[in-house]
Chains A and B, each alone.
Chain A
Amino acid sequence: MQNYIIRRIIHIIPVLFGITIITFGAMHLAPGKPTDLMTDMNAKVSAEAKNRLAQLYGLDSPWYVQYGRWLMRVARLDFGASFRDGKPAISKIAERLPATLLLNILSIIFILIIAIPIGVISALNHNRFIDRAMTVGVFIGFSVPAFWLALMLMILFGLKLGWLPISGLHSLNAGDLPPLARVFDGAKHLVLPVFISAFTGLAGMSRYSRSSMLDTLHQDYIKLAYAKGLSRRQIVVKHALRNALLPIVTILGLSLPALIGGGFIFETIFAYPGMGRLGYEAIMARDYPVVMAVGTIAALLTLAGNLIADITYALVDPRIRYK
């Protein structure tokens, strides 16, 4: 097992290297430069001034030279400063990470709490009305555009009923509130985003647990349990459920990168200061250091997520052994 883990970790290095080369190359294939937003179609900026700016940002050398420079810096754990506002890319990410983590962890918890029971109940009532109704329900959540649903709920709960704030993370006076009221204020701002991201994300997890439960229910040991005369409740909870949840562990591991990757549309709608907006705006502004930092961290987390999924799988399922 230990050897296996070490081997996997060593494998991560060339993969990560490849990912960064491809990201860097693709970014430079896109037309335009980071300085364009500042200078394009601005009749007051002369052509010489444009070239001088490009030079200042080191954009005049070929892309592989720029990549080499980037790699040297990253080797020293320095992701460089954003071209847009001169702030270190890492601190830009660190600023947004807590808000994104808060939202994503909350919504994953809600998804687990709701999706697994839905899956299990569906499987137990296979092809009956309740199964069909739940399937339709989660697929509605899956298909409805998040931005549309968000706008509708904002109009209903924010504008018409006035129960919830429309957008943002805090109220304007949040700084002056006593601690408890501040927590309540934050919670009110989270209701709509968490609800929508959980509702639109139910489908995957509930379908996985449904099919996995169905699979398990047809296993021989379940039949044996019935033959032994155990109660249905005992069979489902003690024997079937525990086995059916195994694949869910894998999926949880794979969703690690989703924890830091926010939905860009989602965060834009809710004026939520998260990672999705950071990444998207960096791409649109050709802010190379930030794009690369976000890309590298996302790649690293994806690879780590895969590894963790594999390891935990072995840990929870005695049938699986790595050599």
Chain B
Amino acid sequence: MACLAAATAGAGDMYVSAALGDASYLNPVLASDSASGTVNDLVFNGLVKYDKDIRLTGDLAESWDVSDGGLVITFHLRKNVRWHDGKPFTAEDVRFTYERLIDPKVKTPYGSDYELVKSFAVVNPYTVRITYRQKFAPALESWGMGILPKHVFSQGDFNEHPANRKPVGTGPYRFKEWKTDEKIVLDANPDYFLGKPKIERCVFRIIPDQAVQFLELRNESIDDMSLTPDQWKAYPEFFRSYNKFRYPAFMYTYLAFNLKNPLFADKRMRKAIAFAIDKKDIIGGVLLGMGKAATGPFPAQSWAYNPDVKDYEYDTTRAKALIEECGWQLNAKDGYFYKDGKRLEFTILTNQGNKMRSLSAEIIQSQLRRAGIKVNIRIVEWSSFIHQFVNKKNFDAIILGWTVGRDPDQYSIWHSGQQDEGQYNFISYNNPAVDRLLEEGRGTFDQAKRTSIYHRLHRIIFDDVPYVFLYYPESLPVIHKRFRGPEIAPLGVGWNFHDWWVPPAEQKYRLAE
């Protein structure tokens, strides 16, 4: 074994990563936190996955066909895939996973993705056929869910099964050890269907404090870390042993208007505010330049992003002219607009604990002051923010962020039928053209057609200004220099982790065989 490992050049060493919180379930159906997600991604495979250019490609499925105009998806599974305990992987495992996802007794937050499935059939041990009630393009992405081994869960309660802490998967790494609140250890899987990964072991240490994580990084006791903009801009000698990366994250921060508020019912007023906000100032002050001005609901690296949409140029004069068109008059004495003796004034609400959002609010406050608008800021604890203000539509304007999926379907955010309490169109946005495009977008499988649908959607939402899209933040990871292979792609930096390696001379940890 030892000489075999030496023969594969560059195999060996250990990758030490840090997480702020401990994982919850090492079971992709039950877990919803990012710490669990990171580990599950290495231990489990879905039927499909995203490649570096954010296109869906096969994972446990070798290929798939979409038939019946998009109502039927047939997955052809890889043969000769084995679970970490040696048992073969078959279509029955896929069926088992699907049945758990829709089982009302299972504590999963992902059931909604599979509500449109009409029937699930195992055609033969390596083929499954899924029939949908209606055409649903994001369906394909939902089969990226990690597939669970049926034989492991055959006995006992699924929610509290011991395997949720000792997972058995098909992925490149096998579970070795989980010490609560300390670390999770994974070892390379020699039987992985794409070949054994070069890095022998992965350790996720739980270090709940950002500042201490940074000290551990400077001490080279962890190999990667996601930095904040100010950490990223710290002294270069801190990063002598690290490669720094930056790439746009799949998220955006926005200022949303409550369209039920008479003040924001008029599109001209919303446009005026868009003209009165200088995003360059916000990006410079809040992100230290590590981000991009946002123009719409898709991040710039997504194929759904429409590059032809040109942002509102910062222009206070134009903003003021638009406000005057709405019937407000500038009071020369205090510099604010008034109508019927009432000052033009509203409150921006945001959640506690997110410095970037509260700083953005302050910058916007001072910028809108210049345009004659009085802004108040109120910062509320997350839970009451969501339940007493956002869900109850009890706000003028809020600053929040969306983490968006790789698939551009944002039906639940923009569709007019999604306005009930607890749904995500909490601004009461209602545009029939947008509704139609959202429906068309999720019902179309053809990539070129979908692209054009979402480009149009981007344009319309930008023109309607239901949100002022503020910025797309960047992911700012650093990775220890001894690792060869990290490469930035639209998907991010870890997409080819399986191929990373360390030259033998630079290997830091020797693992006892």
Contact = CB atoms under 8 A, between A and B. Distances in A.
A188 interface: no
A53 B207 CA distance: 30
Interface stretch (B262-270, B356-364, B420-428): B420-428
A86 B402 CA distance: 28
A111 B319 CA distance: 65
Given A31-B383, A86-B159, A155-B215, A167 B207 contact: yes
A87 B212 CA distance: 28
A170 B182 contact: yes
A168 B182 contact: yes
Contacts of A286: 383
Interface stretch (A13-21, A41-49, A123-131, A228-236): A41-49
Contacts of A96: 180-181
Contacts, number: 139
Interface stretch (A32-40, A65-73, A135-143, A195-203): A32-40
B221 A31 contact: no
Given A41-B400, A43-B410, A86-B25, A49 B211 contact: no
B476 to A, nearest CB: 21
B164 interface: yes
For A36, A151, A176, A271, the residue with the greatest tally of chain B CB atoms inside 10 Å of its CB is: A271
Interface in B173-226: 179-183, 203, 205-209, 211-212, 215-216, 218-219, 221
Contacts of B421: 47
Contacts of B207: 167-168, 271
B383 A154 contact: no
B215 A166 contact: yes
Interface in B145-175: 159-160, 164-165
A43 B115 contact: no
B219 A273 contact: no
Given A49-B111, A95-B180, A271-B206, A36 B25 contact: no
B512 interface: yes
Given A56-B105, A269-B212, A277-B181, A41 B112 contact: no
Contact of B412 (A43, A57, A85, A159): A43
Interface string A82-118: 0011110000100110000000000000000000000
Contacts of A277: 181, 208
Interface string A269-294: 11101000110010000100000000
A31 B421 CA distance: 16
Contact of B109 (A42, A165, A268): A42
Nearest to A170: B182
A257 interface: no
Contacts of B57: none
Nearest to B18: A271
A85 B26 CA distance: 9
B387 interface: yes
For B32, B212, B400, the residue with the greatest tally of chain A CB atoms inside 10 Å of its CB is: B212
Contacts of B24: 84-85
A77 interface: no
B216 A273 contact: no
A158 interface: yes
Given A38-B109, A52-B104, A81-B160, A281 B219 contact: no
A36 B111 CA distance: 16
A169 interface: yes
B189 to A, nearest CB: 20
A106 B386 CA distance: 43
Contacts of A57: 107
A182 interface: no
Given A151-B215, A281-B21, A271 B205 contact: yes
Contacts of B211: 151
Contacts of B180: 92, 95-96, 273
Contacts of B208: 268, 271, 277
Nearest to B425: A43
A158 B219 contact: yes
A159 B182 contact: no
Contacts of A269: 209, 212
Interface in B389-413: 400, 402, 404-405, 410, 412-413
Interface residues on A, range: 35 or more
B16 interface: yes
A304 B30 CA distance: 39
B313 interface: no
Interface string B34-70: 0000000000000000000000000000000000000
A159 B218 CA distance: 7
B345 to A, nearest CB: 27
A1 interface: no
Contact of B386 (A32, A53, A155, A281): A32
Nearest to A41: B386
Given A50-B422, A166-B216, A269-B209, A30 B383 contact: yes
A319 B110 CA distance: 68
Nearest to A47: B422
B384 interface: yes
A172 interface: yes
B386 A37 contact: no
A46 B387 CA distance: 16
A86 to B, nearest CB: 5
B464 interface: no
B421 to A, nearest CB: 8
A42 to B, nearest CB: 7
B230 interface: no
A43 B402 contact: yes
Given A95-B180, A268-B208, A44 B107 contact: no
B212 A271 contact: yes
Interface string A152-182: 0011001100000111111011001000000
For A37, A48, A167, the residue with the greatest tally of chain B CB atoms inside 10 Å of its CB is: A167
Given A31-B384, A36-B383, A176-B512, A273 B412 contact: no
B405 to A, nearest CB: 7
Nearest to B410: A43
Contacts of B109: 38-39, 42, 44-45, 49, 53
A38 B413 contact: no
14 contacts: A41-B402, A43-B404, A43-B410, A46-B412, A56-B107, A85-B165, A87-B160, A159-B215, A166-B216, A168-B205, A176-B512, A271-B209, A273-B206, A278-B181
10 closest A-B pairs (Cβ-Cβ)?
A32-B383, A273-B181, A46-B112, A85-B24, A31-B384, A31-B383, A38-B32, A271-B207, A47-B422, A86-B160
Given A31-B384, A44-B110, 8 more contacts: A31-B387, A46-B115, A85-B25, A86-B107, A95-B180, A172-B205, A271-B212, A273-B181
